[in-house]
């Protein structure tokens, strides 16, 4: 027997896509070429298709925009304010994704009128998307302290200073070089390649790769990768909306 409820409520998905350019944390945003909010900045999103799970839809949305289908993706919150979408009642399930910028499909990004924008230069976003970014960053900061998910943002080979810059970007803070190096080397997550970073114009640091089996093991529990970096839930995100 079918349900008698006749009111229509749409289910959408919005994806907060983070990338690291070697210096800072970036968001992949689109400049809308359709109404409502034509010409304004937005997260990448879409509606749930019939016969599609939420996770499948989120992967589809990220793949369409970046050309990548193996990135880290996590559902973190649902947004359901009555008037959040001015066109029709829409509930949005929000995911955040961690993307290696070097692997992106540049043509797919151009096709969607998308751009990587520094978190510190984020423009004002449509609807409740600013709040989504705020909540996604909170979740990323908590999760990255407990599990080594930050490696998802790095290229296949990296130096410890590059890894430190990444975590400084995530937490918007400076970290002690010696303490950080000692801590990450003790995790058994790094495998030395025997190569040097020849792109550096100063000291040629050793290049490492990720110990994939250990990474998978540590993803299965809260090992406390950098627990001292866990932020209070009410921390204000240091971003502008200009």
Q: Residue ranges per domain, the chain? A: 10-146, 149-221
Residue 94 DSSP SS3: strand
State the CB neighbour count (10 A cutoff) for residue 99: 24
- The CATH number that domain 10-146 falls under is 3.90.79.10
pLDDT for 234 equals: 43
- What is the per-residue pLDDT across 183-199, written as a single tens digit (0 to 9) for each? 999 999 999 999 998 87
pLDDT for 5 equals: 74
- How high is the mean pLDDT of the chain? 90
Q: For the domain with range 149-221, which CATH number is right: 3.40.980.10, 1.20.120.80, 1.10.10.10, 3.40.50.300?
A: 1.10.10.10
Residue 77: pLDDT over 60: yes
Residue 3: band (very low, low, confident or very high) from pLDDT cuts 50, 70, 90: confident
Burial status of residue 32 (CB atoms within 10 A of its CB: 0-12, 13-18, 19 or more): middle
């Amino acid at each position: 027997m079918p349900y008698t409820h006749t009111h229509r409520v749409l289910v959408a998905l919005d994806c907060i896509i983070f990338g690291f350019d070697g210096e800072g944390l970036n968001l992949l945003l689109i400049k809308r070429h359709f109404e409502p909010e034509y010409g304004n900045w937005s997260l990448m999103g879409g509606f749930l298709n019939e016969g599609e799970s939420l996770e499948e839809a989120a992967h589809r949305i990220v793949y369409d925009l970046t050309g990548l289908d193996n990135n880290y993706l996590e559902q973190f919150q649902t947004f359901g304010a009555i008037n959040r979408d001015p066109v029709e009642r829409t509930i949005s399930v929000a995911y955040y994704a961690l993307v290696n910028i070097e692997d992106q499909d540049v043509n797919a990004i151009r096709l969607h009128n998308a751009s990587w924008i520094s978190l510190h230069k984020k423009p004002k976003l449509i609807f409740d998307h600013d709040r989504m970014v705020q909540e996604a960053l909170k979740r990323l900061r908590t999760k990255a302290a407990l599990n080594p998910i930050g490696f998802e943002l790095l290229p296949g080979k990296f130096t410890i200073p590059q890894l430190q810059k990444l975590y400084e970007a995530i937490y918007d803070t400076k970290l002690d070089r010696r303490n950080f190096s000692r801590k990450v080397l003790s995790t058994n997550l790094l495998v030395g390649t025997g190569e040097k970073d020849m792109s550096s114009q100063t000291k040629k640091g050793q290049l490492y790769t990720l110990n994939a089996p250990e990474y998978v093991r540590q993803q299965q529990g809260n090992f406390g990768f950098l627990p001292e970096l866990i932020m209070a839930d009410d921390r204000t995100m240091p971003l502008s909306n200009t």
